Amino acid sequence: MTCIVGIEHKGNVFIGGDSAGTNARMDLFTRADEKVFSNGSMIFGFCGSYRMGQLLQYSFNPPAQSVAEDDFAYLCGPWMSSLIECLKSNGCATVKDNEIAVGGDFLLGFNGVIYQIHEDFQVARRVEPYNACGCASDYAMGAMSLLIDEEGIPPEEKIIMVLEIAEKFSAGVRGPFVIKQLSENEIDFMFTEEK
């Protein structure tokens, strides 16, 4: 359970997420370890397995991108191969019916663009300059579609508003909310909103 929201804005990427952790009985735990973090020149916001998130943050060492390789080819090729190997070698990726699957999706901010990595390791990019994943992603996408063109609202405030809407309607979303910004390959911690 989770809500992760990302916005592309003027060459920057903003990703925000909640702090809810739930189990199969829908017991709710407010987690101190954040679902939004940086790794090198990338920011991540994950849903699903906290173990996957921990590996993304602390164990995954992305390979260097060649100068001639465009971003999408890099992510679909050597970057993804390295990610799969990291997750498999740490017991987080499973093979079922000859297909590899992992315990969750995540948003990735890289070079001013938001990508979504799905359980089957496909790399997706939406036409819209925003995306969401997690149990409340439908609420988030609907709310963001109304807010995205509001020029007087900064991106980080739009994300907070969207996460508050998701929290209102989804039992799997809870603050505090954490937002980070990726600008010119540098990670800026935005803030954690306390309830």
Digit-coded pLDDT (tens) for 31-56: 989 999 999 999 999 998 899 999 99
pLDDT of residue 104: 77
Q: What is the pLDDT of residue 136?
A: 96
Name the superfamily (CATH) of residues 4-193: Aminohydrolase, N-terminal nucleophile (Ntn) domain (3.60.20.10)
Alpha carbon distance 124, 116 (integer Å): 5
The model's pLDDT over 137-193, given as tens digits with 9 standing for 90+, comes to: 999 999 999 999 999 999 999 999 999 999 999 999 999 999 999 876 566 656 566
pLDDT of residue 158: 97
Cis peptide before 176 (omega within 30 of 0): yes
What's the pTM value of the predicted model, to 2 decimals?
Answer: 0.91
Q: How far apart are CA 87 and CA 93, in angstroms?
A: 5
Show Cβ contacts of residue 151 under 8 Å, excluding neighbours closer than 6 positions. Answer: none
DSSP letters spanning 52-113:
HHHHHHHT--PPPPPTT--HHHHIIIIIHHHHHHHHHHTT-EEEETTEEEES--EEEEETTE
Angle at 154 (CA atoms; ends 181, 40), nearest 5 degrees? 5
> Is the pLDDT score of 195 beyond 60?
no
Domain ranges in the chain?
4-193
- Please give the Cα distance from 150 to 20 (Å, whole number): 28
141, 163 Cβ separation under 8 angstroms: no
pLDDT at 29: 85
- Chain-centroid distance of CA 43 in Å reads 8
Q: Are 116 and 124 in contact (CB under 8 A)?
A: yes
- Give the pLDDT confidence score for residue 138 in this predicted structure: 97
Cβ proximity of 71 and 111 under 8 Å: yes
Instruction: Give mean pLDDT, residues 97-124.
Output: 89
Nearest to 136 by CA among 60, 45, 50: 45
Average pLDDT of the chain to the nearest whole number: 91
Report the C-alpha gap between 121 and 138 in whole angstroms: 21
pLDDT band at 74 (very low <50, low <70, confident <90, very high): very high
Query: What is the predicted pLDDT for the residue at 23?
Result: 82
Bridge partners (DSSP) of residue 90 are: none
Q: Is the pLDDT of residue 65 over 80?
A: yes
